[in-house]
Protein backbone atom coordinates (compact mmCIF):
# COMPACT_ATOMS: atom_id res chain seq x y z
CA UNK A 1 0.00 0.00 0.00
CA UNK A 2 1.29 3.44 -0.87
CA UNK A 3 1.85 6.06 1.81
CA UNK A 4 -0.55 8.95 2.14
CA UNK A 5 0.61 12.18 0.51
CA UNK A 6 2.67 14.70 2.46
CA UNK A 7 -0.11 17.26 2.00
CA UNK A 8 -2.71 15.01 3.64
CA UNK A 9 -0.36 14.24 6.52
CA UNK A 10 0.22 17.95 7.11
CA UNK A 11 -3.51 18.76 6.97
CA UNK A 12 -4.37 15.96 9.42
CA UNK A 13 -1.83 17.14 12.00
CA UNK A 14 -2.75 20.80 11.43
CA UNK A 15 -6.38 19.92 12.22
CA UNK A 16 -5.24 18.46 15.56
CA UNK A 17 -3.30 21.66 16.25
CA UNK A 18 -6.45 23.69 15.52
CA UNK A 19 -8.29 21.81 18.26
CA UNK A 20 -10.59 19.57 16.23
CA UNK A 21 -11.60 16.27 17.84
CA UNK A 22 -9.90 13.12 16.68
CA UNK A 23 -13.17 11.51 15.62
CA UNK A 24 -13.98 14.57 13.51
CA UNK A 25 -10.55 14.42 11.86
CA UNK A 26 -10.86 10.70 11.16
CA UNK A 27 -14.21 11.13 9.41
CA UNK A 28 -13.21 14.37 7.65
CA UNK A 29 -9.96 13.08 6.10
CA UNK A 30 -10.81 9.37 5.82
CA UNK A 31 -7.82 8.12 7.80
CA UNK A 32 -7.91 5.67 10.68
CA UNK A 33 -7.46 6.67 14.30
CA UNK A 34 -4.29 4.54 14.39
CA UNK A 35 -2.89 6.52 11.44
CA UNK A 36 -3.65 9.80 13.20
CA UNK A 37 -1.93 8.61 16.37
CA UNK A 38 1.06 7.40 14.34
CA UNK A 39 1.44 10.80 12.65
CA UNK A 40 1.32 12.62 15.99
CA UNK A 41 3.90 10.25 17.48
CA UNK A 42 6.15 10.57 14.44
CA UNK A 43 6.01 14.38 14.59
CA UNK A 44 6.70 14.34 18.35
CA UNK A 45 9.70 11.98 18.00
CA UNK A 46 11.20 13.02 14.65
CA UNK A 47 9.80 16.47 14.01
CA UNK A 48 8.86 15.34 10.53
CA UNK A 49 5.92 13.63 8.83
CA UNK A 50 7.84 12.15 5.90
CA UNK A 51 6.88 8.58 5.00
CA UNK A 52 9.24 5.89 6.20
CA UNK A 53 11.22 3.84 3.70
CA UNK A 54 9.53 0.69 2.45
CA UNK A 55 11.13 -2.30 4.19
CA UNK A 56 12.94 -4.99 2.29
CA UNK A 57 15.84 -5.26 -0.07
CA UNK A 58 15.70 -3.46 -3.38
CA UNK A 59 15.40 -5.67 -6.45
CA UNK A 60 18.96 -6.24 -7.66
CA UNK A 61 18.65 -9.14 -10.05
CA UNK A 62 16.08 -7.46 -12.31
CA UNK A 63 18.18 -4.31 -12.74
CA UNK A 64 21.17 -6.45 -13.77
CA UNK A 65 19.01 -8.38 -16.22
CA UNK A 66 17.56 -5.25 -17.84
CA UNK A 67 21.01 -3.95 -18.79
CA UNK A 68 21.65 -6.51 -21.55
CA UNK A 69 18.18 -7.94 -22.08
CA UNK A 70 17.14 -5.78 -25.02
CA UNK A 71 19.85 -7.26 -27.24
CA UNK A 72 18.63 -10.76 -26.38
CA UNK A 73 15.02 -9.81 -27.12
CA UNK A 74 15.99 -8.41 -30.51
CA UNK A 75 18.06 -11.50 -31.34
CA UNK A 76 15.35 -13.95 -30.25
CA UNK A 77 11.93 -12.28 -30.63
CA UNK A 78 10.01 -15.52 -31.04
CA UNK A 79 11.13 -17.62 -28.05
CA UNK A 80 9.12 -18.25 -24.89
CA UNK A 81 9.71 -16.64 -21.53
CA UNK A 82 11.23 -19.85 -20.17
CA UNK A 83 13.60 -20.04 -23.14
CA UNK A 84 14.69 -16.44 -22.50
CA UNK A 85 15.57 -17.51 -18.94
CA UNK A 86 17.65 -20.39 -20.30
CA UNK A 87 19.40 -18.14 -22.84
CA UNK A 88 20.16 -15.63 -20.11
CA UNK A 89 21.66 -18.30 -17.86
CA UNK A 90 23.83 -19.64 -20.70
CA UNK A 91 25.11 -16.20 -21.66
CA UNK A 92 25.56 -14.64 -18.21
CA UNK A 93 25.76 -17.54 -15.75
CA UNK A 94 22.90 -16.07 -13.72
CA UNK A 95 19.73 -18.07 -13.25
CA UNK A 96 16.52 -16.03 -13.22
CA UNK A 97 12.93 -17.11 -12.74
CA UNK A 98 10.31 -16.58 -15.44
CA UNK A 99 8.62 -14.00 -13.19
CA UNK A 100 11.85 -11.99 -12.85
CA UNK A 101 12.36 -12.19 -16.61
CA UNK A 102 8.76 -11.10 -17.19
CA UNK A 103 9.18 -8.08 -14.90
CA UNK A 104 12.45 -7.13 -16.60
CA UNK A 105 10.88 -7.36 -20.07
CA UNK A 106 7.89 -5.32 -18.96
CA UNK A 107 10.24 -2.78 -17.36
CA UNK A 108 11.92 -2.30 -20.74
CA UNK A 109 8.54 -1.59 -22.30
CA UNK A 110 8.32 -4.77 -24.37
CA UNK A 111 5.28 -6.98 -24.82
CA UNK A 112 4.49 -10.27 -26.50
CA UNK A 113 2.23 -10.02 -29.55
CA UNK A 114 1.35 -13.05 -31.63
CA UNK A 115 4.31 -15.05 -30.31
CA UNK A 116 6.84 -12.24 -30.92
CA UNK A 117 8.48 -10.00 -28.34
CA UNK A 118 8.27 -6.38 -29.49
CA UNK A 119 8.69 -2.92 -28.03
CA UNK A 120 5.26 -1.54 -27.18
CA UNK A 121 5.42 1.30 -29.71
CA UNK A 122 6.25 -1.12 -32.54
CA UNK A 123 2.74 -2.55 -32.53
CA UNK A 124 0.95 0.48 -33.95
CA UNK A 125 -1.69 -0.36 -36.51
CA UNK A 126 -1.40 0.96 -40.01
CA UNK A 127 -4.09 1.05 -42.65
CA UNK A 128 -3.43 -1.36 -45.52
CA UNK A 129 -2.33 0.28 -48.73
CA UNK A 130 -5.00 0.72 -51.37
CA UNK A 131 -7.81 0.76 -48.82
CA UNK A 132 -10.50 3.30 -49.64
CA UNK A 133 -13.26 4.69 -47.49
Question: In this predicted model, what pLDDT tens digit does every residue of 67-82 receive, in sequence order?
Answer: 788 889 889 888 888 9
75 and 103 share one domain? yes
Is residue 131 included in any domain, yes or no?
Answer: no
Q: Are residues 13 and 39 in the same domain?
A: yes
pTM here? Answer: 0.48
State the Cα–Cα distance between residues 118 and 77, nearest whole angstrom. Answer: 7
CA distance 100 to 40: 39
pLDDT value of position 1: 66
Q: Enumerate residue ranges in the chain where pLDDT < 50.
A: 126-133
Residue 78 lies in a domain: yes
CA neighbor of 50 nearest in space, from 114, 6, 115, 1: 6
Q: Are 116 and 78 in contact (CB under 8 A)?
A: yes
Amino acid sequence: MKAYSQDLRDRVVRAVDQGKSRQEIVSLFGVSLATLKRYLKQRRENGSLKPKAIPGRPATKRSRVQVDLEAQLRAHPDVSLERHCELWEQAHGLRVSPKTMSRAIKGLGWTRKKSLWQPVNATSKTEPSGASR
